[in-house]
Structure 1
Amino acid sequence: MMKKMEIKNIFPEDLKSFMSGHREKEYVLLDVRLPQEYIHEHIPGARHIPLHELEDRLNELDVDKKTVFYCRSGQRSRAGATLAMDSGLLNGEIFNLEGGISAYTDNTLPDYPKLSIFYDTGSLEDVLKKAISLEKGAHIFYQNFLDKIENEKIKKQVSKLADLEMAHAKVIYKQGRDIFDQDFDTLFAGIEYSELEGGLDARKWIKKVHGDDQNELCMYFLELALEMESMAYDMYRNLTEGDFSRDVVECFFSLSEQEKNHMRLVANIFKECLPRDIET
């Protein structure tokens, strides 16, 4: 029986001992940030494949080696590790560096709010309502980003993501239209959501942590978006194991595949923003 692959977390202090305890030919340290970020600073010995190019270049990696993914904060690299794992091309263990190069070099980033996503099942109605709640939170998350960002290219892509989250909510509603006692618009408007754990409002969080620096705002928001999309992908994949009808399971499979596409979209937006200290 084939062993199920999983992404293992590795912390900065453990990475140093990991590298000293393995020969170079036994592992790959992979930086998935933008080229300018890699040139500015990277962990010695790291290979570089930007996240938005990763899926097309996975064949450049030695599939039997252990692979450690890293980025600035650990969010892009987790998305990269997820896409690599799901490709089925890598046979070796897959690791994600918690906290990214910022933690590795002791250049601590402000704490990210923790996202809260459900994995329990319960009744079909409860599961579908919780999933719609998640999609509503994601939709509002991207709408909040639109209110704050100035770059028109980024706004266009983020607007597309906001629309896709709304479309997901409608797809989920369709699976439960025979058990819901409200039409979609009424249900969607009234359903509670918490886009960030504790109900923290994204606008207040952005203003508090990042001020008016557009590039920093972009990087932090997109990294949080990648975490959100990665967790949503994982959630829908887990829900496919639930005791649901074939149509509902197929719906969750389809949504998980689309969440991967969302990760790809977010990854491509990174090209439009860079931290101020490495702008060219």
Structure 2
Amino acid sequence: MRVAIETDYGTVAVHLSGRDPGSGTGLLLLHANPGDHRDFAAVTPTLGERWPVAALDWPGFGDSPVTDPSALRTSALPVIASRVLDVLRVEHGFGQVVVIGNSVGGYAAARLAEREPEHVRAAVLVQPAGFVPHGIIVRAMARFMSAGAVAARTVGPAARLYLGPPDRGSVRPVLERARAVRDNADRLAVYRRLWATIADPDLDLTANGPLPIDRPVQVVWGRNDPINPLPLNRHGLAEALPDAEVAVLPTRHEPFCEAPRLFLDTVTPFLRAHSEVNR
């Protein structure tokens, strides 16, 4: 089932599956840049056997049109997620959720858990953005990856690097969608815009010491990711989330599509421990 939620940046498509929302804690899935809700397709059916699942498409990706790509910033993603969560609660029967976010979706998940503890029961941050302290590396990546000619030429090859071999798990369709971004003007514009604003001050989750998140957090990291490597994030994670449960997997940027069974085995105990099921 797909529902449409109006936001300041476009109509966001949210794909609902799994158990009835009234059955207990739900899951809110937030994807990376680029990508869409289908990035989680290899794990969504299994998650849905126990939990209500809502997977959104950020504006400009998947089934979500974008009103004005130039108005979108990476720091707006938590605001969009908050709007989606409000509508899911009021109109679609969702209660508290565990939010699972990947990359910029992981950044959004962290901010959502920080700002809405009454609605977020726990968070799973998968290869999250925001834990490399801002400096020359972050600013250089933002400039390079968002440059027009560079973005069009590298969106496909970059995805091949961070997703890994196409024959692993469900990598191939995710890679094919990433390669197609260069041929869609709006999607390429959003891809560039999110990269350009990755150095926004709100994206530095390490700036002010430990994050004020009073909900359980699990961090899942693929140690083979070349675009957001663990060594650059290790200190920031320890400073910002000293109490987080950290799992390091032999994967790259999207372990849920590269090694779905391993990902499920890693996160399911955490999800079970921090969710409620109404019989």
Task: Decide: shared fold, TM above 0.5.
Answer: no
The structure number with the bigger radius of gyration is 1
Q: Which has the higher helix share?
A: 1
TM-score range, shorter chain: 0.3 to 0.5
Q: So what's the TM-score if we normalise by structure 1?
A: 0.33
